[in-house]
């Protein structure tokens, strides 16, 4: 990863850092799509609404503008034109019509982040920190690459205990079932039901939890 940007984000909370990485990831995908169809990057520029859907806040977006990671412009609605049209913005003002692209600096960082997430240690097969989910026990939010995957508005003790166990162990690919036995309940059947609920009602459907084949462990994958 670009050392300068890494230094800028070093003191951030993991949830905010993941959010910024998630924005970069979305914008990098837009760049790849634009180049695939041989179009200017602005033709595929995501809107403010799309960035907000990842869980981003206005302060995160302004931080990225201030640090030269993204450019923004207001989209002009011009009926009859085949190409999108934009008016440059030099301030930190964000509007409903605001759209965003990566700068040269942002593209460099995005490429390094993608390479880091695609490569795995052949011995440990441990994913890099930027690719790991994050469970915020206070906000009760599960995020991945800055994307809000799941938010618990009511207590879900068993699901939250599993997520807390993954977070405590730094998100290995597998953990032992952390749930305490309950008299009269089949632990394998209970684990199957809880994993099903972990996979349901995800906002972006980016993470999948599975049993490990023994009925005694839980795995995750993106």
Domain enclosing residue 214, as ranges: 132-221
pLDDT tops 50 at residue 121: no
Residues 36 and 103 in one domain: yes
Q: Classify the phi-psi angles of 100: left when phi > 0, otherwise alpha if psi is within -120 to 50, otherwise beta.
A: beta
- Domain boundary (89, 118, 147) is at 118
Is residue 5 within 8 A of residue 21, CB to CB? The reply is no
Is residue 190 within 8 A of residue 182, CB to CB? The reply is yes
In a domain, residue 126? The reply is no
pLDDT tops 60 at residue 156: yes
Instruction: Give the number of domains in the chain.
Output: 2
Per-residue pLDDT of 188-212, as tens digits, reads: 899 999 999 999 988 866 789 999 8
In a domain, residue 97? The reply is yes
- Reported confidence tier of residue 7, pLDDT bands at 50, 70, 90: low
Amino acid 45: pLDDT: 95
pTM over 0.85: no
- Reported confidence tier of residue 125, pLDDT bands at 50, 70, 90: very low
Residues 39 and 106 in one domain: yes
Is residue 176 within 8 A of residue 216, CB to CB? The reply is yes
Per-residue pLDDT of 52-97, as tens digits, reads: 877 788 999 999 999 999 999 999 987 777 789 999 987 898 998 9
DSSP secondary structure code for residue 128 in this structure: P
Residues 103 and 40 in one domain: yes
Amino acid 124: pLDDT: 37
As a whole number, the mean pLDDT across the chain is 84
Residues 112 and 177 in one domain: no
């Amino acid at each position: 990863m670009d050392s300068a940007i890494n230094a800028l984000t070093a003191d951030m909370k993991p949830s905010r850092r993941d959010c910024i990485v998630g924005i970069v990831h979305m914008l990098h995908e837009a760049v790849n799509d634009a180049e695939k169809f041989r179009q200017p990057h602005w033709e595929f520029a995501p809107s403010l609404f799309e960035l907000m859907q990842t869980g981003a806040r206005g302060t995160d977006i302004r931080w990225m503008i201030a640090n030269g990671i993204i450019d923004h412009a207001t989209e002009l609605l011009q009926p009859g034109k085949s190409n999108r049209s934009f008016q440059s913005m030099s301030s930190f003002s964000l509007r409903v019509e605001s759209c965003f692209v990566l700068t040269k600096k942002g593209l460099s960082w995005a490429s390094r982040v993608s390479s880091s997430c695609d490569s795995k240690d052949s011995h440990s097969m441990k994913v890099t920190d930027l690719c790991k989910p994050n469970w915020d026990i206070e906000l009760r939010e599960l995020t991945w690459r800055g994307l809000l995957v799941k938010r618990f508005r009511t207590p879900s003790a068993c699901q939250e205990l599993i997520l807390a166990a993954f977070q405590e162990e730094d998100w290995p690919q597998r953990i032992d079932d952390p749930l305490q036995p309950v008299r009269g309940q089949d632990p394998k059947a209970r684990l199957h039901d809880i994993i099903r609920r972990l996979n349901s009602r995800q906002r972006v459907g980016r993470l999948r939890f599975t049993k490990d084949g023994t009925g005694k462990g839980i795995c995750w994958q993106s």
